[in-house]
Amino acid sequence: MSSPDTPSSPPPIPTSDTPAAHQQEKDMVDMLKNAHSAIDAEVSKVIVGQKDVIEQMLIAMLSGGHCLLTGAPGLAKTLLVSTLGKVFDLSFRRIQFTPDLMPSDITGTEILEEKPGGGRELTFSKGPIFANIILADEINRTPPKTQAALLEAMQEKQVTAAGTTFELEKPFFVLATQNPIEMEGTYPLPEAQLDRFMFNIHVDYLSEDDEVSVVLQTTAPEQETVEPLFSAEDLLKCHDVVRRVPIAEDVVRYAVRLAAHSRPGSEGTDDFINEWVSWGAGTRAAQYLVLGGKTRALLEGRAHVTRDDIDAMALPVLRHRVLVNYRAEAEGITVENVVEKLTDLAKKA
């Protein structure tokens, strides 16, 4: 396989209705479907339950997107991220975000070093962001200046320090966690940074049976080990495969309208959006609805995207892009209620 920095470019899928086109589509579907089963089997050695969370994180990774994980402490968010990193044989670094964390603590800094022949010189010491998977733990506990250090890395896959640009390792994912309970002393992420995350995934408590399984498993004398199934190069090829999945224009238009109808005051917006929403989703939401829909289709063994795929992506894509107003909060309306109503109306249209 080629190196992660220079992934090979497979030939485009033939567009004509030929046996070659059908065979290439079949190979593409089989590859991702088999990968899905293998990953589920390996992750289940360590992670019990949380099927929807694992599914959404896998879709984001295969699509090349970043994730925001929201949930109470102690729900194995860190373990889940590190486990997926092991399955794909990716380097993993955890950054604990605190109020005193500085941008250079993330990106790196220049240090003065002795030269072998005498004298000193400034050299750049890379920070923890130079890894394939970054777990930004409690990202909302650090000031905006430090949060902004992630923006360039997330969007451009590079870091600029001391006037020099450094490319990040590929693939590169930021998986950030937020604690929704302790809000005192936190700095809410600005919309510009929230929009960089493909998904906002809600991690909830396990069922009683799953929680019993976790306790039994974690208090046993021996723990299961996770074996790597894929390489960074394999994951980069998956990114290319996902983007080459054909999709009908009417399905793309459906995704665009779903995002557009979340914007209050826009043409075609329903009354409940104007009443409950102060800010809607932008164009990036439609892009992620389509990318997520393509990946979901492949994982389910299909080489075509349906409206059901788009609907399945609506909540994780729109959850952090639709902002409800004070009127909705006073009536007990959540962003989940708004997105559910939005997709229900879209299905009937």
The CATH number of the domain holding residue 59 is: 3.40.50.300
- Of 4-18, 128-142, 152-166, 234-248, least confident by mean pLDDT is 4-18
pLDDT at 6 over 50: no
Same domain, 273 and 324: yes
Same domain, 179 and 268: no
Check residue 8 and give its pLDDT.
38
Same domain, 276 and 340: yes
For the chain, the average pLDDT equals: 83
Same domain, 200 and 61: yes
d(C-alpha 155, C-alpha 76), whole Å: 27
- Asked whether residue 328 is domain-assigned, the answer is yes
Same domain, 63 and 201: yes
Give the chain's domain count: 2
Give the structural domain span for 279: 246-349
Spatial CA neighbour of 96 closest among 135, 137, 56: 137
Taking the model in full, what pTM does it have?
0.85
Check residue 218 and give its pLDDT.
75
Using pLDDT thresholds of 50, 70 and 90, give the confidence band for residue 3.
Answer: very low
- Asked whether residue 5 is domain-assigned, the answer is no
Tell me the average pLDDT across 275-291: 93
- Asked whether residue 86 is domain-assigned, the answer is yes
Same domain, 261 and 347: yes
Check residue 65 and give its pLDDT.
92
Using pLDDT thresholds of 50, 70 and 90, give the confidence band for residue 21.
Answer: low
Range picked from 4-8, 12-16, 281-285 for highest mean pLDDT: 281-285
Using pLDDT thresholds of 50, 70 and 90, give the confidence band for residue 291.
Answer: very high
Task: Please check whether residue 315 is in contact with residue 336, taking contact to mean a CB–CB distance below 8 angstroms.
Answer: yes
Same domain, 54 and 191: yes
Same domain, 92 and 136: yes
Same domain, 253 and 297: yes
Tell me the average pLDDT across 264-269: 82
**More reliable by pLDDT, 330 or 121:** 330
Q: What angle do CA 9, 13, 16 make, to 5 degrees?
A: 150
- Asked whether residue 280 is domain-assigned, the answer is yes
Same domain, 204 and 252: no
Tell me the residue length of the chain: 349
- Asked whether residue 175 is domain-assigned, the answer is yes
Same domain, 195 and 58: yes
pLDDT tens column, 181-209: 555 667 778 777 888 899 999 888 877 88
Check residue 11 and give its pLDDT.
38
